[in-house]
Structure 1
Amino acid sequence: MRMLLIHADEFSYEVKSKAIPEPEEPKSFKAFVKNALVAFCTIEKNDEKNPEAIAFKAAENIIDVFNKVKAENIVIYPYAHLSSDLASKEVAIPILENIERKINEEGFKVYRSPFGWYKSFNLNCKGHPLSELSRTITVEKEEGAAEIKTEYAIMDLNGNLHHPLEYNYKPEETDLKALVEKEALKKELIGGKPKFLDYCSKFSIEWEPYSDIGHMRYGPEGGLIFDLISEYAWQVANSLEIPIFSVKGTNMFNVAEPPVKEHAKLFGEKLYEIKVDEKTLILRYAACHQQFAMVKDWIISHKQMPFGTFEVADSYRLEKSGELLLCFRVRKLHMPDLHIYCKDLENAKEISLKIHEKIYEEIRKLGREYVSIYNITKKFFNENKSFLLKLLSIEKKPVLINFVPEGRFYWVINVEYTIIDELNRPREIATFQIDVGNSKRFGIHYIDEKGEKVYPPIIHTALIGTIERYLFTLLDSASKKEAEGLKPSLPLWLSPTQVRLIPINQSYLPEALNLAEKLKSALIRVDIDDREDTVPKKVLLAEKEWIPYILVIGKKEVETGKLTVRVREEEKQKIMLIEDLIAEIKSKTKGYPFKPSTLPMLLSKKPVYKMVK
């Protein structure tokens, strides 16, 4: 930012005509002041990196000169002629407003002419040594987030705290030990290629080589799995029995907006940043920006509290290239982000217990168990120990406590739910936080019973984790099954093809098509291997593709109506009628979403994928 400071006996201006298509609305079209310090201000593009600091420093400089020259008034005058590298109006106007506000807060009389207009002005300079000064306002580049000193302890089911080095683990607490060693004791993890990466190719899930690193793509099978998990995330959110509103919006936000800027500081170098039309935009880290920017414009009464907003939000994080892992640590992720706006902190704790229970219910459906980290301030810990014990009663095991500095974060508790993967490495999947800072930052409030404005605590949660990490959990679980000598598989409701029909030759294709239509009408995903190949090879292919139910159709099946069914989950064959097969599949998928396959029913019509390494 560049400024020309003139101490004038008299200064006046008059608005004439628009200089830009949509200028700032003038508070007044003319002004006349005596004994004024006139600050001609040119806001530059570089100022958008830290607009609040620029405004604060500019105001300090103006006040310093004002006091030295003993002026009576201050005029802030937008002036585009001190630099060729101009900021956009979206950046410039808030900076000028903040300068005006800061000077007002110091008790000085200040005028500000409107931005974006051609104006005439008259000025009589006093002519003393300090009557004509120039200033260049810069701020040092914002430093990266300083290392935060925290303190770890293990909390047992009775609420006792133990030093991580002194805790005596029970035989069943191997997962907790792995978590503590990695997070609290900072032990190096054993490397190795996880088995689940080989599984991804079965479902056309891979990196996109034409994008930035860390961006995934999904073929027809993977896309179906992605859509089903997204729908399930919405279903799980609604099971909390709280009004949840599905919302949608943009993925980029103007860093010149103070709430956006303040929230962005929390994520530092992991933010994607793009330049468009002289603006700096950031790609959202999660759904917070969009949901909060929307809810701030809602008129909310205490009668509507609590309620939630939900979006499967495409989110962007500049993870280090060496740490990227398909389906887990990615640069573009999809967060089923649920925010619940609570009446007060007690209400937030009540709902948090429901959320905690739901998160554990979902992971236990997959036959897995979390070990948790409670990031928490000591003040909240000491004042809410009974609440924490209720959380532990749902976990049924000790947790790792991480005490963080007071006031450093917008939340008072942030729970990270972690599985231990096939390589014995902790992997964070789900989360919830109680946020006590963002409602005021974004201007989100409701009107209570007394007619007063209340800024509500906000719960942030991803009940099943990101879409990618839920998929990671499923594939890692399949890897663990295979390590135990069992056949790896996906849950039936997520299997892209639930039933594969294999006619022994082309003469039985009509009967296979007839059975397929019955299954399809029952909302079961089915295909037919009609290719010219041997039956054993077709069965082997179906096994490699993890098809849950494989049916070979021949003379006996046509004549008797009894089907020989290979059931992957049970690792055996059984004889069933088509009606019994339909009933079994519907029973096993009850309560889960369904989507039809987008692939052709006949395998001969399906292309073969060339997988990208």
Structure 2
Amino acid sequence: MRVLLIHAQYFRWEPKEPALDIRDDPVSGNADNALVAFITVEEGDKPDEAYLAAISRDIVEVAKKVDAQTIVIYPYAHLSPNLAKPYTSREILNKLFDILNGFNQFKVLKAPFGYYKSFEIKCIGHPLSELSRSYSYKPELFSGRPQAQAERAAPDIYLILSPEGEEYNPADYPLDKYPDLKALVDKEVFKRELPGGEPKYIEYVKRFGFEWEPMSDVGHMRYGPDATIMMELVEDYAYQVAKSLGIPIFKIRGTNMFKLSERPIETHAKLFGERLYIVEADTESILRYAACFQQFAMVRDWVVSYRNLPFGMLEVADSYRYEQPGETVLLFRLRRFYMPDLHIFTKDLKQAIEVTYKLHNKIFEEIRKIGRDYVSLYNVTAEFYRGYKDYLIELAKREGKPILLRILPEQKYYWVLNVEFHIIDELGRPREIATFQIDVGNAMRFNIKYIDDENKIRYPVIIHTAILGSVERYLFALFDTAALMEKRGQVPRLPTWISPVQVRIIPINREQLEEALKLADELEGADIRADIDDRNETLSRRIRDAEREWIPYIVVIGHKEVESKTLTVRIRGGTQRQMTHQELISLIKSEIKGYPKRPLYMPRLLSERPTYKQL
């Protein structure tokens, strides 16, 4: 940061025209006997309170020495060629203004950011009337907030709440009876290091074409044909699950880029801090980290009656979070991922709570379908906990086990309740998958309204939820479940509905290819994905390759099968059986019943495919 300090007999400014989309209100001003701080915010400056407090103390000391009555913060972009982004500059100048005001020793004014301005100044002219300063942010020198403020901030409180409504200190609770809860408490409360090692699922997912994209930024993936089928099936299923809640659901699509000059976007975005992807366009913008911005921007233009509530809005949103390079994990922690983000708009907190009972049941129903269970962390404001403890006890009863509470002394965010649902992975580490939040702040921030039964304008309470989690994290849960199967000595497999190829047909030689094509047509007509391994390889090699691809059903067709009209079917993790065509179709249809269908996203014949899988 570069600062030019001028002790002025008088100083006047007047905004003329906007220079940036990100800007303050165009306020004119003047001051007598003022220390004017012309400030250029540079690349590398951070809105760190300790850093800005040190700069503020320096400015105050100069003001004392020159006996000024007023301090004026004047945004000035001409002291350095290395300017910070406008969004960051404005945030830093506003924080600096607030900190200087907190000294309560001078009147503090601030000229508006983002304008071409005219100004008049008369420098008093003494040895201290013109000074320059240069500051650099060094993380090792600043704690992140002034010590006094850190001491005043009340800490978060962790409790374990039993289904009977009893509260326990996590340190005193018999956690050995609940190993999953113990893993979560160790991570969240005691900050203990998680078990290390390479998770088994990493090896699995590469077989299906889930890979890092080396020509992109860290944390960005690419999805091969098999992976793409699986992604789109989960996206379809997320919509299907949302509709099963029994409330109207509107599926939408929108943009991934939003202007920071829009006040609701800026205010909401500040909660993510350095995890934001800020991009340079015609105006400084961010890439969204969920579907909130698009859905809120759309629904605020709708005319909504209380009769319409509750209703949901869902988008499978490409979402961006600037995770640290060392923290990215394939298919789990990404900088770009796909979120089936559902927002449910409700009349008030009472109706929101009623809806969350359905939502809670659905979240547990879906994870239990794949043979897993959640352990839950409830982040809750102290005020909400005092008023709605019985509601949280009811949710603990529905889970049938204790829950971990993190009680925030004040409302720091837009929500009063934020529930994180974790599975414990193959290595014994908590991994958040699903979530829901009760949001009491964003409706007013984005001007989302409805008309109540007295014809008055009201602001809805909004539920944010990802019932399955992100698309990638749901798939992670499936692959991690397979890793647990292998750990128990079982053959790892995926549910049939999500398997890219559900049936692999292997004709023993070219004479049976016509019969294989007929069977593939029959299966395809029943919404079953089937392909044919017609390569010039040995039968044992082709069966082995199908097993490496985790294909649920492998059908070998030879002369005997053609003559008898029966099929020899290898079932993954099971036995080899003789079946008719209809018996095979009926068996598979019973396994995929209630799940979405997608066609094969690759040529049916393996001889037409290049080699692209890591088997």
TM over 0.5: yes
- 1:521-600 pair list within 5 angstroms: 521-576=525-580, 578-600=581-603
Residue 508 (structure 1) aligns with: 512
Q: 1:232 aligns with which of 208, 226, 237?
A: 237
Unaligned 5+ segments in structure 1 are 71-76, 96-111
Answer yes or no: is 1:603 the counterpart of 2:606: yes
Q: Is the 8 A contact 1:214 1:324 kept in 2?
A: yes
Could you say if the C-alpha distance between residues 575 and 446 of structure 1 is closer, same or farther in structure 2, counting changes exceeding 3 Å? same
2: CA distance between counterparts of 1:206 and 1:80?
43
In structure 2, do the counterparts of structure 1 residues 523 and 124 end up closer, same or farther at CA, with 3 Å as the change threshold? closer
- The alpha carbon displacement at 1:326 in A equals 0.8
CA distance in 2, matches of 1:231, 1:135: 60
1:605 corresponds to which letter in structure 2?
A: E
CA distance in structure 2 between the aligned counterparts of 1:86 and 1:567, rounded to whole angstroms: 63
Contact 1:206 1:218 in 2 (8 A): yes
The answer to which of 143-152 and 223-232 deviates more is: 143-152
1:364-379 correspondence to structure 2 within 5 Å: 364-379=368-383
Q: Aligned partners of 1:89, 1:183: CA distance in 2, in Å?
A: 35
Q: Distance in 1 between matches of 2:20 and 2:595?
A: 52
> Residues 131-154 of structure 1: CA distance to partner in whole angstroms, max 9, x if unpaired?
x99999x99999968898322121
Deviation string, structure 1 residues 516-572 (Cα, Å, up to 9, x no partner): 111112111101111112212211111111111111101121111111211115344
Shift of the 69–322 alpha-carbon distance from structure 1 to 2, 3 Å rule, reads closer
- Once the two structures are TM-superposed, the CA of residue 243 in structure 1 deviates from its matched residue by 1.6
Counterpart-to-counterpart distance in 2, 1:162 and 1:174: 16
Contact 1:226 1:467 in 2 (8 A): yes
Name the count of aligned residue pairs.
Answer: 592
Aligned equivalents of 1:118, 1:483: Cα separation in 2: 69
Is 1:360–2:364 an aligned residue pair? yes
Helix, strand or coil for the counterpart of 1:419?
A: strand
Matched, 1:203 2:208: yes
In structure 2, relative to structure 1, the CA distance for the partners of 1:307 and 1:451 (3 Å cut) is same
| Corresponding residue of 1:153 | 159
1:253 to 253, 258, 263: 258
126, 146, 168: which one aligns with 1:162: 168
Greater mean deviation of Cα atoms: 430-439 or 531-540: 531-540
2:221 — aligned with what? 216
User: 2:343 matched to 1:339?
Assistant: yes
- The answer to whether the 8 A contact 1:353-1:390 is kept is no
2:500 counterpart residue number: 496
Contact 1:155 1:400 in 2 (8 A): yes
Partner of 1:447: 451
Q: Which amino acid is the alignment partner of residue 161 of structure 2?
A: M
Counterpart Cα distance in 2 of 1:426 and 1:498: 31
Q: Deviations over 1:95-132 (max 9, x none)?
A: 9xxxxxxxxxxxxxxxx99x99999x9x999x999xx9
1: CA distance, partners of 2:463 / 2:164: 26
Separation in structure 2 between the aligned mates of residue 425 and residue 151 of structure 1, nearest angstrom = 22
How far apart are residue 467 of structure 1 and its match?
0.8
Which of 467, 472, 480 in structure 2 is aligned with 1:468? Answer: 472
| TM-score, length of structure 1 as denominator length | 0.80
What TM-score do you get using the length of structure 2 for normalisation?
A: 0.80
Q: 1:602 to 1:345 in 2, by over 3 A?
A: same
User: Partner amino acid for 1:582?
Assistant: I
How far 1:309 sits from its partner (Å)? 1.5
User: 1:359, 1:44 → 2: CA distance?
Assistant: 46
> CA 1:148–1:251 in structure 2 vs 1: closer, same or farther (change >3 Å)?
farther
> Does residue 1:307 correspond to 2:317, yes or no?
no
Aligned residue for 1:267, secondary structure, equals: helix
Aligned equivalent of 1:263: 268
State the shift of 1:428 in Å: 0.7
Contact 1:2-1:135 within 8 A present in 2 as well = yes
Q: Which residue of 2 aligns with 1:419?
A: 423
Contact 1:180–1:400 (8 Å) recurs in 2: yes
**Counterpart contact for 2:208–2:613, Cα < 8 Å:** no
1:480 aligns with 2:484: yes
| Shift in Å, 1:252 | 2.1
Equivalent residues in 2 for 1:48-127 (5 A)?
Answer: none
Query: Cα distance, 1:257 vs. partner?
Result: 2.3
On the 8 A contact 2:277/2:320 being kept in 1, the answer is no
Contact 1:414-1:431 at 8 Å conserved across structures: yes
The 3 A distance-change label for structure 1 pair 175 and 79 is closer
Which whole-Å CA distance do the structure 1 matches of 2:80 and 2:569 have between them?
A: 77
RMSD across aligned positions (CA): 4.8
1:191–1:82 Cα change, 3 Å? closer
Aligned-residue offset at 1:170: 6.5
Corresponding residue for 2:106?
A: none
Structure 1 pair 384–538 and aligned structure 2 pair: CA distance change class (3 A): same
DSSP-derived class of the 2:284 partner:
strand
* Distance apart, 1:165 and its partner CA: 1.9
Equivalent of residue 442 in structure 2, options 431, 438, 442:
438
1:106 match: none
